Amino acid sequence: MNPLAIDPIVALDAHGLSQAIHARQVSCREVMQAYLGHIERFNPLVNALVSLRDGEVLLGEADQCDAQLARGQSRGWMHGMPQAIKDLAATAGLRTTLGSPLFAEQVPTQDAISVARVRASGALIVGKSNVPEFGLGSQSYNMLFGTTTNAYDHSRVAGGSSGGAAAALAMRLLPVADGSDMMGSLRNPAAFNNVYGLRPSQGRVPYGPTPELFMQQLATEGPMGRTVTDVARLLSVQAGYDPRVPLSLRDRPRDYAVGLQRDFTGVRVGWLGNHDGYLPMEDGVMGLCEAALADFAELGCRVEACQPGFDMARLWQCWLIHRHFLVHGNLGAAYADPRKRALLKPEAQWEVEGGLRLTAAQVYRAALDRSAWYQAMSRLFERYDFLLLPAAQVFPFDAAVPWPKVVGGRAMDTYHRWMEVVIGPTLAGLPSMSVPVGFNAAGLPMGLQIIGPAQADHAVLQLAFAHEQLTRWVERRPPGCLRG
């Protein structure tokens, strides 16, 4: 192991930090001081955190947390822990820009549901984590704050759209991080930065509040962490029914970190690979992911190759229609105003224009195709307990490039085609977690998706936990700049 040449407080994982705070081994003020100093030193290397709040104000809030503990009061698991919110989620009293000049000075008066829940659990909001404009694309750059770069190579991308969150986690700028996922935005940046990211089951974490009470069924908020336990703890804070979100799951509150240990002897695992050559992959991606299959076999799983028996080109068209439809609904008014349209990046304009061309019949057909895809995945889960799939098709690429134009010798026809590997779990509403599986010869990380049946979030966490205990990639390979 390489010891980290950083403050021991920021080297703690979130679970360990929470325990230290509640045992009064460290004060909330000491924690905040350690993190503010670490952020000042290392955030400029990756540009992960933006809209940072005043340090003296944050120290005052930490003092209030210490006073509460002195009275025997704790607000929850995150009491006194620094947290930065993804810059797509509304934060009352703190700029929420969506990475767009159209919202450069937007200061919401109300928290998003997930933000309110982490505040209620005691988190102290230090700022926001950087995103691509409107969260569009898996490269976290925008005109307001610039580009977030990779924790392992600062000349390369962090992924997206939760790129700021993932890079901040890997750089120990945050103990744990929130994110959101429409097209792999919790999974791709986790893979690119050697951390964990869970896209929960649809409805597990209430999204919004948003005007799209019934229409928005692609995006979901969720947790990221350096350990599976941290991911499970944050999911416990984020999850749960909210009456403002009618499609949120009405489950009893639970601690997802309880019962993570499990015997996987004989558990059936299906390997989807590159969908029989349908998905182009950069050299080395499949090699790392296929090597990781031996880890699951060592855990006792029975691993075999499988396919869903579905036309993947049909699934891509289904995806494009759903995405065009939703992005047009969100940005169509801005596009209609020539002055505002000029401030939308070309990819955002392309999405809106795709929505303008859609017919009702196409949208209905895409809904049928999505249902057929869910049924195909359900049939696979009659045979397998879990499915495995790469979390990305490329390694982190040059941060000066908006998106890869060619992957595995094939031209990419859209700005997000290179992330096609993540759309399956999204469209089926399934829980999917990116777990680290190692590094290529250039020292760049890669991840693998563990996909579970509908609403089997805890089971996915259990398999990820077992894999973590066996491999310990986060512990073994921290970013070089933190090793002194």
Active-site residues, by number, are 86, 161, 185
Q: How far is CA 349 from CA 69, 259, 324, in A?
A: 50, 46, 10
User: Tokens in use for 354?
Assistant: 């795709």
> From the CB of residue 250, how many other CB atoms can be counted at a distance below 10 Å?
9
- d(Cα 61, Cα 124) in Å, to the nearest integer? 7
Q: How far is CA 457 from CA 35, 207, 254, 408, 462, in A?
A: 31, 17, 12, 33, 9
- d(Cα 240, Cα 238) in Å, to the nearest integer? 7
- d(Cα 336, Cα 356) in Å, to the nearest integer? 11
Strand partners, 147: 141
- d(Cα 136, Cα 128) in Å, to the nearest integer? 17
- d(Cα 369, Cα 314) in Å, to the nearest integer? 8
- d(Cα 79, Cα 266) in Å, to the nearest integer? 40
User: Tokens in use for 102?
Assistant: 């159209």
